[in-house]
Amino acid sequence: MDQQHSIEEPSGRSPALGGGGALRCILGGVLMGLANLVPGISGGTMLLAVGIYRFMIEAIADLASFRSPVRSGVVLALVILPALLAIVGLSGVAGRFVLESRWIAYSLFIGLTLGGIPVLVRSIGGITPIGWLGCLLGLVVMAFLAMSEGDASTGHGSSGSLMLVVAGLCAGAAMLLPGLSGSYVLLVLGQYVVVLSSIDEARVAVTARAWPELFTAMGTIVPVAIGVVLGIAIVGVVVRWCLSHLRQLTLGVLLGLLVGALFGLWPFKEAVPPEIGSNVRGVEIVSLEQAESIKPKYWPTVGFTPTASQVAGACVWILLGAALSGAIGCLGRDEENDGSSSPAGV
């Protein structure tokens, strides 16, 4: 594991950034961006897989405490910029996949979530009573989030912006935690398709130089981005302390959050056009023309009874997702166990 030790030292301090470390940061950023487009795949697990998780956490914590700002800024840029490019380039594809093939997408997401559970189970080892308490707390949090799912119909204006900031904060925090998915948080809070569609609309607007459309899209992107930055900063500072001093409780909470993610992923729902009298984004629909003007990304969802072939297909997609996520999790196993007492290597 010489290559891995060129990135991370047993002392837990981030070594100087070399050429190999820079390439791994870029690769980790690309994988992290791709992961954060798909609910159920953890961006933190991607960083573990390429051996730069602790490197990233140290850089965030150092920058937040104004230590080594130049080096920390370089590390973050090498990870975050490729992640952003991956998100911008593929956001439209991911958003359309959920809109047009919801039950397939959600079945795949369930499998991806299930496949991530062994990552944390291996890290925890034997769960103590305090670990089970943390797991219960995580389950309660995710159950609450699932019951609060808004199908992107949160109020427009200040309340909508606040919801977007909160969603971004939660997603930013989750995307750095191994086994958890930032995009899943957006999915449960009803903001996943809204955010991805807005990113794709902004990309198209920039290409076409359609500045009014860009301004509209940025009304969604900016609040989410503010929340994401806050979430990443908070996690970067807190995660080292939690995993060092409250390891069993912290890992138990992470496991509960991951298992509880399944609460909000029932696949057999479909988006339906809003009806007159319904409320979309805090606005009451009073005419047919107004209802027809609502974009599909804001349509509410309702459950439906699946056919036998859909149930069978869902099982296949779940198994495929679990196999894919499990294989990705295995890539990060060496770093999980490399001379540290936590999956973060802190």
Residue 293 placed within a domain: no
Residue 233 placed within a domain: yes
- One-letter amino acid of 26: I
Distance from C-alpha of 270 to C-alpha of 181, rounded to nearest angstrom: 22
What digits encode the pLDDT tens for the residues 77-118? Answer: 999 899 889 888 887 787 778 778 888 988 987 887 787 777
Structure tokens that stand for 146 in this block: 């699932």
Specify whether the CB–CB gap between 111 and 325 falls below 8 A. yes
pLDDT band of residue 51 (cuts 50, 70, 90) is low
Residue 12 placed within a domain: yes
Distance from C-alpha of 225 to C-alpha of 39, rounded to nearest angstrom: 18
Q: What is the DSSP string of 283-296?
A: EE--SHHHHHTS-G
Of the listed ranges 18-27, 124-133, 156-165, 221-230, the one predicted with least confidence: 156-165
The strand pair at 301-303 and 269-271 is best described as antiparallel
At 101, phi and psi to the nearest 5?
-135, 55
Residue 287 placed within a domain: no
Who wins on pLDDT, 191 or 337?
A: 191
First to last CA, the chain: 18
DSSP 276: T
Domains of the chain: total: 1
Residue 284 placed within a domain: no
Domain that holds residue 71: 2-268+305-336
Handedness of CA 54, 22, 76, 92 (dihedral sign): negative
Residue 54 placed within a domain: yes
What is the pLDDT at residue 317? 94
Residue 300 placed within a domain: no
Distance from C-alpha of 257 to C-alpha of 253, rounded to nearest angstrom: 6
Residue 80 placed within a domain: yes
Radius of gyration of the chain from its Cα atoms, rounded to whole angstroms: 20
Place of tokens 């079945």: 107
* Nearest residue to 162 via CA among 205, 217, 223, 209: 223
CA 330 centroid distance within chain:
19
Distance from C-alpha of 159 to C-alpha of 163, rounded to nearest angstrom: 6
